């Protein structure tokens, strides 16, 4: 019996037991021989199979993208925005089945799955408005009868490599902006969530067909790291946007830079919340618990460290332990559960290893972890969210573990807390819990958090699309989503127009014939 309507959702999204995995947008390519099997971490069952992209398929997709770009780039930006608007409306219609698939294939709660599709809808709405605001700056020239301004042009093909933890939203962040900027896109979804990629391609194909748009505007490839290497080494793909580990980012960033391409890197996080004596404890506990256990700790913005003032350390520790006892772990499609599974058994292995290492380095377990077995946990991917007391300089604390493990540590002064917050290789998200205005502003100052995201009285996890998303240091420096992140998908050009009858040179240089 399909208790949660998964089969119905798959059918609504046009998914079969075996699916082609290479698409130019309007047409599916290749055979269904070399297959990627997608198993749900929820129950361990096979969701479906997706054909891996061959080199021949890839070449056809790039060629289609190059052809489509010639027409797409000269379409007025507001008209491109209209296509994105229609895609957003399609997502509204498919929100429930797509959210259900995200939850089932990735393992996050159904509410988070719906929230991820809502992020896609939100970025479409943002991009539609932005399509009428791709503005440059006008400047005064030092030469009489001259005008200067800068403008932005599309790059061509944008390659997008996304991670399993947000199997659809991050693609949409990139794609919606890339499209309204005049680019075409090739997407390689995570091989751990390929069915989500095929589903999104099916949805967008309806928009392309309705508008009689050319092949290549929205393309899909599937496969392992080899397919990613084709993209990162391809000079015909001037921009690569990649979400993944710092290790992966080092390889992609170096490869793309070597051919003088552009990259947007969204890599690891090691996020901390500072809890001051002036914190609202109720808000603090809610923010810390959701940040640590939401998506089973598999968000790049998940809360990994809680830096607590020594005067309230024991109180916060006790409240956290009590809150963890209330967590319900199980099938994420059951909305009574707070925590779902990790993505696979490899992730479970890393979780176990991290708990072993923190004890070996001198840490103390506050809330016991462990792998859950028995009825409802047959996939072997369910673990207990754990809390450990640790030092910030522990090797395992300096490392990002994609699992629900929260490290607690003490501080004496705010300066010490900020130094601890910053003293990790990653620099994605950060937060401070305080009702003290001076502490809040100190945290946000030049001498405060060194992360790309710094919050006051909210946790590290959960970002609105209106702001640019990304981090510093080993997080990669990339920016996606809101604010002026759209500029990363374009090339900048400075223009000078002489409408006088003479040719004066800049800096007063004289040159006469």
Q: Could you give the residue numbers annotated as active site? A: 266, 300
Task: Report the candidate in 401, 328, 319, 327 with the shortest Cα–Cα distance to residue 363.
Answer: 401
Helix axes 95-106, 110-130, angle to 10 degrees: 120
Residue 213 tokens read as 């748009």
Q: How many residues does the chain have?
A: 513
> Which residues touch 438 (CB under 8 Å, ≥6 apart)?
none
> Which residues touch 47 (CB under 8 Å, ≥6 apart)?
6, 10, 38, 39, 40, 104, 105, 195
What burial class does residue 346 get, using C-beta atoms within 10 Å of its C-beta: 0-12 exposed, 13-18 middle, 19+ buried? exposed
Q: What is the distance between the alpha carbons of residues 397 and 378, in angstroms, rounded to a whole number?
A: 30
3-state secondary structure 407-439: EEEEECCHHHHHHHHHCCCEECEEEEECCCHHH
What burial class does residue 445 get, using C-beta atoms within 10 Å of its C-beta: 0-12 exposed, 13-18 middle, 19+ buried? exposed
Say if CB 462 and CB 292 are below 8 A apart. no
Q: What is the distance between the alpha carbons of residues 403 and 341, in angstroms, rounded to a whole number?
A: 10
Q: What is the distance between the alpha carbons of residues 350 and 226, in angstroms, rounded to a whole number?
A: 24
DSSP state of 30: S
DSSP per position, 269-315: --EEEEE-TT--HHHHHHHHHHHHHGGGG-STT-EEEEEEETTTHHH
Q: What is the distance between the alpha carbons of residues 34 and 43, in angstroms, rounded to a whole number?
A: 24
Q: What is the distance between the alpha carbons of residues 92 and 314, in angstroms, rounded to a whole number?
A: 46
Give kind and range of the element (H or E) at residue 262.
Answer: strand 262-266
Q: What is the distance between the alpha carbons of residues 272 and 292, in angstroms, rounded to a whole number?
A: 10
DSSP state of 74: T
Task: Report the candidate in 497, 488, 495 with the shortest Cα–Cα distance to residue 151.
Answer: 495
Residue 512, Cβ neighbours under 10 Å: how many? 3
For 505, phi then psi, to 5°, come to -100, 155
Residue 287, Cβ neighbours under 10 Å: how many? 24
* Cα angle for residues 313, 388, 337 (degrees, 5° grid): 100
Residue 339 tokens read as 């925590």
Say if CB 158 and CB 174 are below 8 A apart. yes
């Amino acid at each position: 019996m399909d208790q949660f309507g998964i089969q119905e959702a798959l059918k609504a999204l046009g998914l079969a037991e075996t699916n082609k995995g290479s698409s130019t947008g309007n047409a599916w390519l290749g055979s269904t021989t070399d297959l990627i099997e997608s198993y749900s971490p929820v129950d361990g069952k096979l969701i479906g199979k997706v054909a891996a992209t061959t080199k021949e398929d890839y070449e056809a997709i790039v060629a289609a993208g190059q052809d489509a770009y010639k027409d797409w780039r000269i379409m007025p930006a507001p008209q491109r925005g209209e296509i994105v608007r229609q895609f957003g409306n399609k997502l509204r219609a498919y929100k429930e089945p797509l959210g259900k698939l995200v939850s089932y294939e990735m393992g996050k709660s159904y509410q988070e799955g719906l929230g991820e599709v809502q992020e896609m809808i939100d970025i479409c709405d943002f991009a539609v408005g932005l399509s009428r605001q791709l503005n440059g700056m006008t400047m005064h020239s030092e030469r009489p009868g001259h005008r200067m301004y800068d403008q932005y042009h599309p790059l061509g093909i944008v390659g997008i490599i996304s991670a399993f933890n947000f199997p659809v939203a991050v693609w949409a962040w990139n794609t919606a902006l890339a499209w309204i900027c005049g680019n075409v896109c090739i997407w390689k979804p995570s091989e751990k969530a390929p069915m989500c990629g095929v589903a999104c391609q099916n949805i967008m194909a309806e928009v392309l067909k309705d508008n009689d748009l050319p092949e290549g505007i929205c393309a899909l490839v599937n496969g392992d790291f080899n397919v990613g290497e084709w993209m990162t080494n391809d000079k015909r793909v001037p921009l690569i946007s990649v979400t993944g580990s710092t290790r992966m980012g080092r390889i992609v960033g170096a490869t793309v830079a070597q051919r003088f391409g552009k990259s947007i890197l969204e890599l690891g996080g090691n996020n901390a919340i500072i809890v001051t004596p002036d914190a609202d404890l109720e808000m603090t506990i809610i923010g810390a618990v959701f940040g640590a256990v939401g998506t089973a700790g598999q968000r790049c913005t998940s809360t990994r460290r809680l830096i607590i003032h020594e005067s309230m350390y024991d109180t916060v520790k006790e409240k956290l332990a009590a809150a963890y006892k209330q967590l319900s772990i199980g099938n994420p499609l059951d909305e009574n559960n707070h925590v779902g599974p990790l993505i696979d058994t490899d992730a479970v292995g890393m979780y176990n290893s991290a708990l072993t290492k923190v004890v070996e380095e001198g840490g103390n377990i506050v809330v016991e972890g462990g792998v859950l077995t028995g009825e409802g946990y047959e996939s072997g991917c369910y673990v207990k969210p754990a809390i450990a007391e640790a030092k910030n300089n522990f090797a395992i604390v300096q490392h990002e573990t994609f699992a629900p493990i929260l490290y607690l540590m003490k501080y004496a002064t705010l300066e010490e807390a900020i130094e601890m917050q910053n003293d990790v290789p990653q620099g994605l998200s950060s937060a401070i819990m305080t009702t003290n205005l001076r502490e809040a502003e100190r945290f946000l100052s030049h001498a405060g958090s060194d992360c790309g995201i710094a919050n006051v009285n909210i946790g590290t996890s959960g970002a609105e699309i209106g702001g640019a998303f990304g981090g510093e240091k080993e997080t990669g420096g990339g920016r996606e989503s809101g604010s002026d992140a759209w500029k990363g998908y374009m090339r900048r050009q400075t223009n000078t127009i002489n409408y006088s009858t003479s040719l004066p040179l800049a800096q007063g240089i004289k040159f006469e014939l």
